């Protein structure tokens, strides 16, 4: 929400710069997200917290500033109401929960024109478009004291039946009917439902309560008689309506955070005062105020001893008095050890003593709080499952595994690919409101994540099948429902081995399982053909085995079923294993493992390209004494598209000539944002040749 520095100064003497003020506010009141100089003013954009509706106006923010800077808060100027016309309306509130208070006043003899320059400027600086003098006054009062107002054209409101005689239009505050329609001031027709509140005449809705007025009752250049509405609406209902319709307005921003219910009449008086300054001839009607359940200030007691006990800092009681009083709290009893206050109704967020302690410290200064540590002691050990998890991570990373971390939510098609959805999907957890990425099932296995990580790496050219080898693992949870529909979360270790010779993969996996058992000091294990109860659709039926410890099935390892590989277009065999860590824990009597802390590393991440690289080889003849490293560096420095250069051959001999050598490099060309064309690569490659010719007098070999 935007605030003008000069406007704030209407209510408080600010003797610091806007930038200094912004720093104070950010720490104590609300984060200032932008500071903009404009004309001879500075505009501050603040992120108002959702429980601080009292700050959504210049006057409200000025109150907090006065407390922070230890200054006086000035008053808002209004004039006493003098009745000059008999014109009035009747108001009927049908839903008093959604509208606990409705105040309104009729004003006749209005001349619609442009607002005075100073009002237009102030509004425009804080992002509110100037419309005409009446609408601008409603917006001005809202920005100034926080109460959203609305102006209706009196003559556009339907009068029927009995009302015709009295000429008193009736305003009805009611819930909309389902599918009832209203065209709002922005010209868009809105379809309403019965959760939404409207302001209506006897015929039709004339405004979407607390959100936006209706086009049918809009004030225009012909308007002479208006109704000013100043009401209080339920914050949650306003927020919901606004969200459902995708319509956020300045009024919503305030109502959804709670506007002081005792502000409506003051706002009307202020609006009348401002309008009268421009149109002295206006006639003001009786102020209607429907406010059945009055809200009064409430009491909170502050025990002074709590300040030190709870905040950890000593604050003088005079200072405490000063802070709380300047925030608008009304003291009614000051004792030596307790202070009693009435809390003003604009601060519904203050409900208990702890809330007062927060007020004290945020104004006093969070930076003044010292640093201590709690003396609390609880005797705890690192849980076994965390030790086992980390021990396994140590073991596997020491034999070349990459640890991965993947999403625990899977797509339906992934389950289908692994033939998992056909088995027992009723025991899987399915999200009711998935995102458009369609990840909706909590994984029942880590294997799909491993295989998809592999295929993604191939797709993104991080890995070349037939050339590269890789080993991946993840330790994480899998999720099931038990018979009582409760969540069962189990720890698993999943691993993947890729790139081994076709008939060796299984035995590499077997070797890893045995190595792992050995490292965990589990000796009584068996590897056997998979029993009926453990049958898995994931694995190759004749190239997989089951790990048994003391008669308990711990998991399966082996080749992934070829039909799954086909779905992922994997032409090379993949081996996986998945072990139940909860079961392994049950089998371990002790864990001989101490959590080691990783070495401090200050690696700075380097972006990499996911577009296919192009390779070119280059052989050159140079003087024997030229350092190959220097040549490599020169190649890489030639152009940003060169991501790597590797020496792969060096030769000396008679053909080359005495004192010379031939060196050959693999050069990798790749762009961060696109696939390079041959033409592009050739051009840069030629550049490399030219550079080497110049720097090292190199002769390219063909």
Partner 1 sequence: MEEQLIKIREEALKEIAMVIDMTGLDSLRIKYLGRKGKLTSLLGQLKNLSLEEKRKIGPLANQIKREIEGKLKELKEQLKEFSLQQLEKEKIDINLPAIGPQRIFGHFHLISDFKRRLINIFFEMGYEILEGPDIDTDYYNFESLNIPKNHPAREAQDTFYFDFNTLLRTHTTNMQAHVMKQKKPPVKYVVIGRVYRRDDDPTHSFMFHQIDGLVVDRNIKLSDLKGVLTLMIKKLLGQEVKIRLRSSYFPFTEPSLEVDISCILCQGKGCGICKNTGWLEVAGAGMVHPQVFKNVGYNYKKVSGLAFGAGIERLIMLKHRIDNIKLFFENDLRFLRQF
Restricting to residues 630-669, which ones interact with partner 1 according to CB under 8 A?
632, 646-648, 650
| 672 touching partner 1, by CB under 8 A | no
Work out which of 13, 31, 37, 195 binds partner 1, going by CB under 8 A: 31
Q: Is 376 in the site for partner 1 (CB under 8 A)?
A: yes
Query: Minimal distance in Å, beta carbon 297 to partner 1?
Result: 20
The full length of the chain comes to 702
CA distances from 216 to 104, 106, 113, 159, 441 (A): 19, 18, 20, 14, 49
Region near partner 1 per CB under 8 A, out of 129-137, 225-233, 279-287, 427-435:
427-435
Stretch binding partner 1 (CB under 8 A), from 23-31, 151-159, 315-323, 336-344: 23-31
| Minimum separation from the CB atom of position 166 to partner 1 (A) | 40
Minimum Å distance from CB 661 to partner 1?
A: 10
Considering only residues 143 to 182 of the shown chain, the ones binding partner 1 according to CB under 8 A are none
| Per-position x/- string for 352-371, each x denoting binding to partner 1 as judged by CB under 8 A, each - no binding | x-xx-xx--xx---xx-xxx
What is d(CA 59, CA 74) in angstroms, rounded to the nearest whole number? 9
Question: For partner 1, which is the closer residue by CB, 430 or 550?
Answer: 430
> Phi and psi of 234, rounded to 5°?
-65, 125
Q: Which span sits near partner 1 by CB under 8 A: 195-203, 424-432, 548-556, 671-679? A: 424-432
Binding partner 1 (rule: CB under 8 A), the pick from 66, 311, 497, 642 is 311
Stretch that binds partner 1, among 75-83, 459-467, 559-567, 680-688 (CB under 8 A): 459-467
Q: Which residues contact 398 (CB under 8 A, 6 or more apart)?
A: none
**What angle (nearest 5°) sits at the alpha carbon of residue 400, between those of residues 399 and 401?**
105
Separation between Cα atoms, residue 351 and residue 315, nearest integer Å: 22
**φ, ψ at 170 (rounded to 5°):** -105, 130
Beta carbon nearer to partner 1, 78 or 664: 664
Which of 314, 380, 654, 673 touches partner 1 by CB under 8 A?
380
Judged by CB under 8 A, the chain residues 600 through 629 that form the site for partner 1 are 601-608, 610, 628-629
Q: Which residue lies nearer to partner 1 by CB, 273 or 402?
A: 402
Q: With contacts defined by CB under 8 A, name the span among 28-36, 198-206, 259-267, 520-528 that binds partner 1.
A: 28-36
Residue 400 in the binding site for partner 1 (CB under 8 A): yes
Residue selected from 4, 28, 265, 445 as contacting partner 1 according to rule CB under 8 A:
28
Q: How many CB atoms within 10 Å of residue 323?
A: 21
CA 504 to chain centre: 48
Which residues neighbour 689 within 8 Å (Cβ) at sequence distance 6 or greater? 618, 620, 698, 700
Q: Are 578 and 475 in contact (CB under 8 A)?
A: no
Question: Toward partner 1, which CB reaches closer, 590 or 604?
Answer: 604
Q: Kindly tell me which of 405 and 697 has the beta carbon lying closer to partner 1.
A: 405
**What would you report as the CA-atom Rg of the chain, rounded to the nearest whole angstrom?**
37
Report the residue from 222, 377, 483, 502 that binds partner 1 according to the rule CB under 8 A: 377
Applying CB under 8 A, which part among 27-35, 143-151, 289-297, 677-685 lies near partner 1?
A: 27-35
Q: Output 374 or 551, the one with its CB closest to partner 1.
A: 374
The residues, ordered by sequence, that sit 6+ positions from 14 with a Cβ below 8 Å of its Cβ are: 5, 8, 21, 65, 69, 71
Q: How far apart are CA 417 and CA 537, in angstroms?
A: 10
Decide if 545 contacts 562 (C-beta within 8 A).
no
Could you say which DSSP state residue 217 is in? G
d(CA 660, CA 649): 14
Stretch that binds partner 1, among 13-21, 396-404, 503-511, 517-525 (CB under 8 A): 396-404
**Closer CB to partner 1, residue 437 or residue 571?**
437
Q: Between 336 and 433, whose beta carbon lies closer to partner 1?
A: 433
Residue 569: both structure tokens together: 């277009």
Q: What b-and-e string marks burial along 426-460, b requiring 16 or more CB atoms within 10 Å of the CB?
A: eebbeeeeeeeeebbbbbbbbbbbbbbbbbebbee
Rounded Cα gap, residues 586 and 578, in angstroms: 17
Would you state the structure tokens that stand for residue 15, as one six-digit string?
A: 């003797």
Smallest gap from Cβ 406 to partner 1, in A, equals 6
CA count, 13 A, side-chain hemisphere, 517: 20
Identified binder of partner 1 from the candidate list 13, 203, 489, 514, rule CB under 8 A: 489
Residues 551-590 that bind partner 1 (CB under 8 A): none
Query: What H or E segment, with its residue span, contains residue 667?
Result: strand 660-669
Choices 192-200, 516-524, 566-574, 594-602 (CB under 8 A): range interacting with partner 1? 594-602
Q: Does 482 bind partner 1 (CB under 8 A)?
A: no
* Site stretch for partner 1 (CB under 8 A), options 7-15, 177-185, 464-472, 694-702: 464-472
Stretch that binds partner 1, among 46-54, 76-84, 188-196, 553-561 (CB under 8 A): 46-54
CB of 311 vs partner 1, minimal distance in Å? 5
Angle at 58 between CA 54 and CA 63, to 5 degrees: 60
Bridge partners of 136, per DSSP, are none
How wide is the angle at C-alpha 174 spanned by C-alphas 169 and 177, nearest 5°?
Answer: 115
Q: Does 313 bind partner 1 (CB under 8 A)?
A: yes
Q: How far is the CB of 260 from partner 1 (least distance, A)?
A: 18
Site for partner 1, residues 429 to 448, rule: CB under 8 A:
429-437, 439, 442
201-260 residues in contact with partner 1 (CB under 8 A) are 236, 239-240, 243
Nearest approach in angstroms of CB 381 to partner 1 is 9
Q: CA-to-CA distance for 174 and 169, rounded, in angstroms?
A: 16
Q: Compute the least distance from the CB of residue 20 to partner 1, in Å.
A: 14
**For partner 1, which stretch binds (CB under 8 A), given 10-18, 132-140, 201-209, 400-408?**
400-408
Give the nearest distance from C-beta 46 to partner 1 in angstroms: 12
Q: Would you count residue 685 as binding partner 1 (CB under 8 A)?
A: no
Taking residue 470's Cβ as centre, other Cβ atoms within 10 Å add up to 17
CB of 33 to partner 1, least distance (A): 8
84-123 positions binding partner 1, by CB under 8 A: none
Sign of CA dihedral 200, 204, 210, 214: negative
Distance CA 339, CA 44 (A): 35
Least distance from partner 1 to the Cβ atom of residue 389, Å:
9
Min. distance of Cβ 486 from partner 1 in angstroms?
A: 9
For the bound state, the minimum distance from the C-beta of residue 233 to partner 1, rounded and expressed in Å, comes to 14
CB atoms within 10 A of CB 591: 16
What sections of 581-677 are H helices per DSSP?
581-587, 628-638
Count of residues near partner 1 by CB under 8 A = 102
* Residue 399 in the binding site for partner 1 (CB under 8 A): yes
Residue identified by tokens 């606004």 is 242
Binding to partner 1 (CB under 8 A): which residues in 51-70? 51-52
Of 28, 29, 34, 24, the C-alpha closest to 3 is 34
Alpha carbons 280 and 262: distance in angstroms, whole number: 27
| Rounded least distance, CB 548 to partner 1, Å | 27
Q: Is 337 exposed, middle or buried (0-12, 13-18, 19+ CB in 10 A)?
A: exposed
Per CB under 8 A, contacts with partner 1 among 494-553 are none
């Amino acid at each position: 929400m935007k605030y003008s520095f000069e406007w704030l100064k209407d209510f408080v003497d600010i003797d610091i710069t806007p930038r200094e003020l912004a720093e104070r506010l950010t720490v104590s009141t609300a984060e200032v997200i932008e500071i903009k100089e404009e004309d001879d003013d500075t505009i501050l954009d603040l992120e108002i917290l959702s429980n601080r509706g009292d700050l959504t106006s210049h006057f409200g923010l000025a109150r907090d500033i006065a407390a922070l800077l230890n200054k006086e808060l000035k008053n808002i100027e209004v004039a006493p109401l003098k009745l000059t016309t008999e014109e009035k309306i009747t108001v009927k509130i049908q839903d008093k929960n959604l509208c606990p208070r409705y105040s309104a006043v009729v004003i006749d003899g209005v001349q619609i024109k442009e607002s005075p320059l100073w009002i237009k400027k102030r509004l425009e600086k804080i992002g509110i478009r100037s419309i005409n003098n009446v609408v601008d006054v409603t917006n001005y009062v809202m920005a100034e004291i926080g109460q959203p107002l609305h102006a209706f054209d009196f003559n556009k409101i339907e009068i029927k039946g009995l009302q015709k005689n009295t000429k008193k239009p009736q305003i009805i505050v009611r819930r909309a009917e389902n599918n009832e329609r209203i065209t709002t001031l922005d010209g868009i027709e809105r379809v309403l439902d019965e959760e939404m509140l409207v302001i209506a005449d006897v015929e039709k809705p004339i405004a979407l309560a607390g959100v936006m007025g209706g086009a049918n009752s809009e004030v225009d250049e012909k308007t002479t008689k208006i109704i000013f509405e100043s009401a209080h609406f339920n914050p949650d209902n306003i927020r919901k309506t606004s969200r459902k319709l995708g319509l956020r307005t300045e009024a919503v921003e305030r109502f959804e955070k709670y506007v002081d219910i005792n502000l409506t009449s003051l706002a009307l008086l202020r609006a009348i005062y401002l309008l009268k300054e421009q149109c002295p001839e206006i006639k003001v009607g009786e102020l209607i105020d429907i406010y059945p359940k009055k809200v009064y200030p409430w009491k909170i007691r502050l025990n002074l001893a709590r300040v030190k006990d709870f905040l950890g800092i000593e604050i003088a009681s005079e200072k405490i008095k000063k802070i709380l009083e300047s925030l608008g709290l009304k003291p009614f009893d000051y004792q030596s050890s307790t202070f009693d206050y009435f809390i003003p109704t604009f601060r519904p967020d203050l409900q208990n003593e702890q809330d007062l302690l927060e007020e004290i410290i945020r104004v006093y200064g969070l930076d003044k709080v010292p640093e201590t540590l709690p003396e609390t002691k609880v005797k705890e050990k690192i849980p076994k499952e965390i030790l086992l998890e980390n021990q396994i991570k140590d073991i596997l990373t020491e034999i070349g595994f990459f640890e991965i971390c993947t999403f625990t939510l899977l797509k339906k098609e992934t389950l289908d690919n692994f033939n998992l959805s056909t088995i027992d999907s009723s025991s899987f957890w399915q999200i009711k409101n998935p995102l458009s990425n369609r990840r909706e099932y909590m994984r029942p296995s880590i294997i799909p994540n491993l295989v998809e990580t592999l295929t993604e790496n191939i797709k993104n050219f991080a890995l070349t099948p037939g050339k590269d080898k890789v080993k991946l693992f993840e330790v994480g949870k899998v999720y099931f429902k038990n018979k009582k529909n409760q969540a069962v979360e189990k720890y698993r270790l999943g691993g993947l081995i890729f790139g081994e010779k076709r008939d060796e993969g299984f035995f590499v996996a077997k070797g890893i399982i045995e190595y792992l058992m050995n490292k965990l000091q589990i000796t009584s294990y068996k590897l056997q053909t998979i029993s009926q109860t453990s049958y898995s659709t994931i694995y190759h039926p004749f190239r997989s085995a089951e790990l048994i410890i003391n008669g308990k099935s711990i998991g399966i390892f082996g080749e992934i079923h070829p039909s799954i590989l086909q779905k992922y277009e994997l032409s090379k065999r993949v081996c996986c294993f998945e072990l139940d860590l909860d079961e392994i824990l049950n089998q371990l009597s002790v864990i001989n493992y101490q959590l080691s802390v990783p070495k401090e590393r200050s690696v700075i991440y380097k972006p990499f390209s996911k577009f296919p690289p192009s390779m070119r080889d280059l052989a050159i003849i140079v003087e024997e004494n030229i350092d190959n490293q220097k040549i490599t560096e020169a190649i890489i420095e030639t152009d940003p598209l060169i991501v790597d250069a590797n020496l792969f051959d060096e030769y000396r001999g008679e053909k080359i000539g005495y004192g010379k050598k031939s060196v050959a490099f693999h050069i990798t060309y790749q762009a961060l944002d696109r696939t390079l064309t041959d033409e592009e690569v050739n051009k840069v490659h030629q550049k490399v040749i030219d550079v080497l010719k110049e720097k090292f007098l190199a002769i390219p070999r063909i």
